[in-house]
Amino acid sequence: MTQKSVVVVDYGMGNVLSVCRAFQNQGANVALTGQAGEIAGAERLILPGVGAFGDCMKALEQRGLVEPILEFLRSERPFLGICVGMQILMDAGDEFGGYPGLGLFPGRVVQIASQSADGATRKIPHIGWTPIAPPESATDHRWAGTMFEGTPRQTPFYFVHSFTAAPLNATDVLASAYYAGAHVTAAIGRDNITGVQFHPEKSGPAGLALIERFLSL
């Protein structure tokens, strides 16, 4: 079997070593790089992200990596954004004032409300294991042909975030999580592009299984 090749974008804003180890554990040949040519020419591309939306976008811009990433995305090869690496696929993010994103998915990244509809306090950030499922409006076939195919509904994954993507198009939502009375976006996707709010590299066997399916795309 031919070893699958993965490029992880190194721009100083991600939990890159654990991401690399998780993909290596599933048999991938992993290259960690901030070189534009390697990013644009990758077989599969991973964009991790930890921290604030605006800081991540600024880091990509300063390193001249926005256009190489967009060039890759136009190629229709498999792409995975993780945590803030997913959020910056949106039009904009509201964290610390508001910043433009990559604009691949219409909508904004908004703060998870600190109070539920009944006035109860909701702990922010959302940290811990939370089950995911296709959004309520989706059919049971929503995950067919995606990296989520074969994942049992309500499988828990590990989240650490205070903001959630709010896509304008319901069809862009691949998975939702229910946290303290609120639905948060767990994954978005369209064509070759997938983004996950949770950390598959920290999600044990379920996360590794998801990574393995991404490598099969």
Among 20, 56, 161, 201, the one annotated catalytic: 201
82 lies in which domain range?
A: 5-216
Among 56, 95, 126, 199, the one annotated catalytic: 199
The mean pLDDT of the chain is 94
How many domains does the chain contain in total?
1
98 vs 6, higher pLDDT? 6
Contact 201, 24 (CB under 8 A): no
CA–CA distance, 148 with 181 (Å, rounded to integer): 24
Amino acid identity of residue 120, one-letter, is A
pLDDT at 139 over 70: no
Q: Which residues are CB-neighbours of 123 under 8 A, at least 6 positions away?
A: 180
State pLDDT tens for residues 52-64. 999 999 999 999 9
pLDDT score recorded for residue 140: 60
pTM: 0.95
In this structure, the chain runs to a length of: 217
Q: How confident is the model at residue 13 (pLDDT cuts 50, 70, 90)?
A: confident
CA–CA distance, 15 with 206 (Å, rounded to integer): 19
pLDDT at 134 over 80: yes
- How many CB atoms within 10 Å of residue 196? 28
15 vs 11, higher pLDDT? 11
**Among this protein's residues, is 43 annotated catalytic?**
no
| Beta-ladder partners of 131 | 156
**Among this protein's residues, is 199 annotated catalytic?**
yes
Contact 83, 202 (CB under 8 A): no
- Extract the tokens encoding 143: 């995950």
CA 23 centroid distance within chain: 15
pLDDT at 199 over 70: yes
pLDDT score recorded for residue 106: 98
**Among this protein's residues, is 20 annotated catalytic?**
no
CATH code, domain with 46: 3.40.50.880
Contact 28, 2 (CB under 8 A): no
Among 83, 95, 126, 161, the one annotated catalytic: 83
